Structure 1
């Protein structure tokens, strides 16, 4: 009897332990899991579709992520990852939903790698919903945190993509870490795909860049900025874009920005657990930017692509085409020492050094030779010669539909042996792969060279015949009354940012006759371009940058487009001359309206200006292609439109800083006394917090309507820090009479109390002497945004 009894007891404990080990869809505070138990999910959705827990790196050893994945797919496809760029050790790491309500991932050494930052809240449970959303709820069921708010490379049905969120690709196929491609809502409310690589950034979808937003079937008027996929396979965006899966109907789906830059919808085949592509944004992958890197050419071969280097170039890294190709030659700027090699049906997107139509091939050659930075030019005949000199060769592609050739600039003494190398293609049937060939002019092996040349010659004759037919038709039936063409569209885009000659800008400004401003970096003159646009031309002084460095920086700034930043339209870099061409605002700068103008800025206008400046600086610091520190934020550099929308001027060339850098070591102090942060005097590395400090001073001046930097400069008054200390005391004590006394008396008590309190708190935190205690401009924007739209009119204070 004892043996059966012991057997029953042991069986009972086994069942009990087994039941505890079964994964659940909801857990309470105190639940945790060690990485060693990664084979047992931390959570599983009730319908079993999703699992959550430690996920082993597909290519790493002893490396793990905290992820959500599709339980029934054969590849256990990841839908979301908490620590995609910070994997943890496979021994000793732990995930815990603590008693304080915070979900924390810790590495083997106990360091916090990631958390939901819900500690101290009323959090009660954590659960994995059937939608794939990991959520933390309070006792009433309210969501305190959810994974849907921080997408990685995937969007699930009913997961909304909204303003400020990005879906970012993986770097390499099969890996989890962040890559170069992202899906996001741009500042014009349009859903776009962007390549943000190590060297350049550019948007490439909607893919027909020659068309306007509306010609691409989008609208920029809807500022809602919401895009969502439903269970039926319909994806709808607030900019008017919508698509449906090829297998429309109920099913398990996901949208993903793939490592190759394409945006695809996948449907799960429940019979075998495989994924099927049911829609993709770009059927031809060569439309994706950055695939083949600098000096690389992308060839689309039916259901695959191949990268190759330009003639005379070789690949930098055979394992990563994003790093592009390097030249096997060197040449000086002497135009006599340059020649050009024709590459038929090849073009490069962007980086135009100008645009010329109705130009001969020989004149196009001379146009490129006159510019040291010109690496070649695109020349095409579409009824008239069109020339696009290129400063940098990115986003190259070969297309039989391209009606022209690219002419690559090479040194005269380069021999033909460097222009071709053997090639071996690595081809498979997976259309998501980039098929890498060794660098060569045409991407073919030497044994196929004669066939390549033959087909090229035949293609050239065919193209020539078509060209003659098109020209004949144009003259016979259309005459010279041609509507807007593709070339005109290309001209419009490339003309938004271009390189000017010094003589051009001298003529534009009437020999620099009308000075409209000056600062420590240069003098600004008014000018009028040939197309009647009024511009502000700034002559830089004491500018030590070389021509290539200058071009690199202004090319980044030229792509910046934000409603609260003055737009740069071009530049000049010629011998010792460095000039910048900006849009010109006819209205006054903020200092004129605050301190000199008889017209009083109303409170609503002041708040709008303060909020707009914050958004512009936040864009420079956090959203821009490269982080930009202004270093001279002051009322004189804030220009106003007719409806008092502020535009920050004179930004950009103070300094560009790469993401992740701790700070800049600038040799000399820059800025304006009174607005300069203490770190300038202390000779500390300069960060974006110097702009935060300056913004705080400007914000105080907007509130008070006086030049604070002048009135508080007297040492007997204790300076700005003493004043700020008093303001903090007023706020802490809620001293309403003293707080009200800070407002510009010209407003006669007409202001919004809550907006005032928020602005004062923001201002005093911005001018902290210790820079680490200052907020970021993103945080400032969030603080002000809560009071952006107030329906009630500002009224007199009465308590």
Structure 2
């Protein structure tokens, strides 16, 4: 007969064994879940978090977010048939973007036919070549992700996702995309006057002061929509003259959202992204991008409009030297504008740009304040032009009246002489 002490021992042993079994199941269950989640994350996000270092030249975006995993990523990019990027896109891109309003998906054959087998090249960027195409709705521009492009598929995905919900007259309109036959393409509205960079630094073309001031205002409206109109707000992170495009009416639109992020995004581990010469120094030291980082980049663009000096030609040194000079911005004004602009408006716009370039982000204005300041300069310009035009009309009338009086006087003299 089993005594009471034996029952206690058996009960404790059974309980202990059951506890060990449950603990083991929980341990292996958690371990399986973490491994499964890690594999899933690798499949979906490897291209998003470990892009290779990009330094593709003066006009291209740079990505300094190198890590120990970069070498693995580079090896994978060199093996396209085994790349998780292509695997992910081939299996998931269709479902991801089917819901993007107004963004159409095209087949490779559609684009090949529209571009006449990719014959008319409009330009070349870090993303790849840009071709002119004729669609049923009219002329468009097609950006093709080059097979050896340093700008990864993350940017492609970001561009489609963001522009599917962002719509403003001062943002370039994305009309469609193509993910087919291993190709990735973006279809945009055609901007016949190209980039601001090409216009500013083309010796054969002259941008007038009125056009430059309007371009600055257009850019401010586009960025204002991103920062204060979009929900959630968006930080562009790669504002530069090469990413400002102009339509047939010379109205400016902000383009290239491959590096953009929503404001709520935690960018502490994102690495340093942008274009040399336009990057906020505070962002460089803290690795934290904010709206005020976009403001700094916009300040650089404003000084480009005033001086036609590229950031890679020591623009900041010229700005700092001019700030210490008695004549200020007058000394670095683009020679093409000499004697052809109202210098007070130039100085006012330069003052706005200086505020954008403050070392402390806290002291920099918001884009709403910048847009308002430029709008006031534009309004004063229009008033001045109207005044000059009115004065010219009055002067013309006076001249006409003087001529009439002269004719009448001549007639009177002739009559008196005949008498």
Q: TM-score over 0.5 for the alignment?
A: yes
Residue 277 of structure 2 is matched in structure 1 by 674
- Of structures 1 and 2, the one with the larger relative CO (CA 8 A, separation 6+) is 2
Residue equivalent to 2:314: 712
Deviation string, structure 1 residues 261-291 (Cα, Å, up to 9, x no partner): xxxxxxxxxxxxxxxxxxxxxxxxxxxxxxx
The offset of 1:697, in angstroms, is 1.2
- Superposition pairs of residues 93-112 of structure 1, within 5 angstroms: none
Deviation at 1:498, TM superposition (A): 0.8
Aligned to 2:253: 647
Q: 1:562 aligns with which of 168, 175, 180?
A: 168
Q: State whether structure 2 residue 365 is matched by structure 1 residue 769.
A: no
Please give the alpha-carbon distance, in whole angstroms, between the structure 2 residues aligned to 1:553 and 1:701: 26
Alignment equivalent of 2:152, drawn from 543, 547, 550: 543
- Looking at structure 2, the residues matched to 665 and 509 of structure 1 have their Cα atoms a distance apart, in angstroms, of 40
- Aligned equivalents of 1:565, 1:622: Cα separation in 2: 14
Answer whether contact 1:560 1:624 (CA < 8 A) is retained: yes
**In structure 2, how many angstroms separate the alpha carbons of the residues matched to 1:760 and 1:546?**
33
- C-alpha contact 1:497 1:569 (8 A) present in aligned 2: yes
Q: Is the 8 A contact 2:238 2:260 kept in 1?
A: no
Rounded to whole Å, the distance in 2 between the matches of 1:691 and 1:391 is 31
Identify, as 1 or 2, the structure richer in strand: 1
Give runs of aligned pairs for residues 512-531 of structure 1, distance below 5 A: 512-531=118-137
**May I ask how many residue pairs the two structures share in their alignment?**
293
The Cα of 1:574 is off from its aligned counterpart by 4.2
TM-score by length of 1: 0.34
Shift of 1:612: 0.8
Alpha-carbon offset, residue 761 of structure 1: 1.4
CA positional deviation for 1:610: 0.9
Aligned to 1:689, which of 275, 279, 292? 292
Q: Is 1:498 aligned to residue 205 of structure 2? A: no
Partner residue, 1:749: 339
1:684-726 per-position Cα deviation (integer Å, ceiling 9, x unaligned): 122233322221111111111232x23327xxxxxx2x54444
How far off is 1:626 after superposition?
A: 3.4
Matched residue SS, 1:698: helix
CA gap of 1:747–1:647, structure 2 versus 1, over 3 A, is same
- Is the 1:613–1:647 Cα contact (8 Å) retained in structure 2? yes
Unaligned stretches of 5+ residues in structure 2: 1-89, 389-419
Per the alignment, in what secondary structure is the counterpart of residue 788 of structure 1? Answer: helix
Q: CA RMSD in A?
A: 3.3
For structure 1, list consecutive stretches of 5 or more residues without a partner in the other structure.
1-369, 376-388, 394-493, 714-719
Out of 365, 373, 377, the position equivalent to 1:787 is: 377
Using the size of structure 2 for normalisation, the TM-score is 0.61
Match for residue 579 of structure 1 among 182, 185, 200: 185
**Contact 1:663–1:687 (8 Å) recurs in 2:** no
SS where residue 691 of structure 1 aligns?
A: helix
Displacement, 1:633?
1.9
- Distance in 1 of aligned mates of 2:181 and 2:360: 42
CA shift in 2, pair 1:763/1:530, >3 Å:
same
Per the alignment, residue 98 of structure 2 pairs with 391
